[in-house]
Structure 1
Amino acid sequence: MAAYVFRRLVSTIAVMAMVGIFVFLLLRLAPGDPAAMIAGRSATEEMIAGIREKLGLNDPMPVQFIHWVRDMLSGDFGTSIFAGRPVLELMSQRLEPTVSLSSLTMLVSVMIGVSFGILAAWRAGGPIDRLLTAFSALGFSVPVFVVGYFLVYFFAMRAQLLPVQGYKPISQGLGPWFEHLILPTVALSVAYIAFIARITRASMLEVLSEDYMRTAAAKGASSFAMLFHHALKNAGVPILTVVGISFAYLIGGVVLTETVFNIPGIGRLVVDAINNRDYPIIQSVLILTSGLYVFINLTVDLAYTLIDPRIRY
Structure 2
Amino acid sequence: MAAYILRRLVSAIAVMAMVGIFVFLLLRLAPGDPAAIIAGDKAAPQVIAAIRQQLGLNEPIPVQFVHWLFSVLGGDFGTSLFSRRPVLELISLRLEPTISISILTIILSVTIGVTFGILAAWRAGGPVDRILTAFATLGFSVPVFVVGFFLIYLFAIRIHWLPVQGYVSIDNGPGPWFVHLILPTLALSLPYIAFIARVTRASMLAVLSEDYMRTAAAKGASSYAMLFHHALKNAGVPILTVIGISFAYLISGVVITETVFNVPGIGRLVVDALNNRDYPIIQGVLILVSGLYVLINLVVDLSYNLVDPRIRY
The TM-score bracket by the shorter chain reads over 0.9
Number of the residue aligned with 2:184:
184
The letter for the 1-side match of 2:4 is: Y
Residues 79, 86 of structure 2: 8 Å contact kept = yes
Moved more, 37-46 or 243-252: 37-46
> In 2, Cα distance between the equivalents of 1:39 and 1:236?
55
SS at match of 1:216: helix
Map 1:148-163 onto structure 2 (within 5 A): 148-163=148-163
Q: Could you list the per-position Cα deviations for residues 133-164 of structure 1 after superposition, in whole angstroms to 9, with x for gaps in the alignment? A: 00000000000000000000010011000000
Moved more, 150-159 or 61-70: 61-70
RMSD: 1.2
The letter for the 2-side match of 1:188 is: L
Structure 1 residue runs of 4+, over 4 Å off? none
Number of the residue aligned with 1:145:
145
Number of the residue aligned with 1:291:
291
> In 2, Cα distance between the equivalents of 1:148 and 1:273?
23
Measured after TM superposition, the shift of residue 80 of structure 1 is 1.1
Measured after TM superposition, the shift of residue 53 of structure 1 is 2.2
Number of the residue aligned with 2:58:
58
The letter for the 1-side match of 2:80 is: S
1:227 aligned onto 2:233 = no
Number of the residue aligned with 2:250:
250
Unaligned runs of 5+ in 1: none
Moved more, 130-139 or 300-309: 300-309
SS at match of 1:81: coil
Question: How many residues in Structure 1 have an aligned counterpart in Structure 2?
Answer: 313
> In 2, Cα distance between the equivalents of 1:247 and 1:54?
38
1:97 aligned onto 2:97 = yes
> In 1, Cα distance between the equivalents of 2:217 and 2:177?
46
The letter for the 2-side match of 1:31 is: P
Number of the residue aligned with 2:278:
278
TM-score, scaled relative to structure 2 = 0.97
Measured after TM superposition, the shift of residue 37 of structure 1 is 4.8
1:215 aligned onto 2:219 = no
Q: Could you list the per-position Cα deviations for residues 67-125 of structure 1 after superposition, in whole angstroms to 9, with x for gaps in the alignment? A: 10111111111111121211110110000000000000000000000000000000000
1:49 aligned onto 2:49 = yes
Measured after TM superposition, the shift of residue 38 of structure 1 is 4.8
Unaligned runs of 5+ in 2: none
The letter for the 1-side match of 2:171 is: S
Number of the residue aligned with 1:118:
118
Moved more, 32-41 or 83-92: 32-41
SS at match of 1:164: coil
Measured after TM superposition, the shift of residue 58 of structure 1 is 2.4
> In 2, Cα distance between the equivalents of 1:173 and 1:79?
33
Residues 28, 34 of structure 1: 8 Å contact kept = no
The letter for the 2-side match of 1:209 is: S
Residues 32, 277 of structure 2: 8 Å contact kept = no
Residues 27, 34 of structure 1: 8 Å contact kept = no
Number of the residue aligned with 2:2:
2
Number of the residue aligned with 1:70:
70
TM-score, scaled relative to structure 1 = 0.97
Q: Could you list the per-position Cα deviations for residues 169-225 of structure 1 after superposition, in whole angstroms to 9, with x for gaps in the alignment? A: 111101000000001100000000000000000000000000000010011100000
Number of the residue aligned with 2:134:
134
Same amino acid, percent of matched pairs: 78
Measured after TM superposition, the shift of residue 39 of structure 1 is 3.6
Residues 165, 262 of structure 2: 8 Å contact kept = yes
SS at match of 2:59: coil
Measured after TM superposition, the shift of residue 51 of structure 1 is 2.6
Residues 270, 282 of structure 2: 8 Å contact kept = yes
Distance 1:32 1:250, change over 3 A: closer
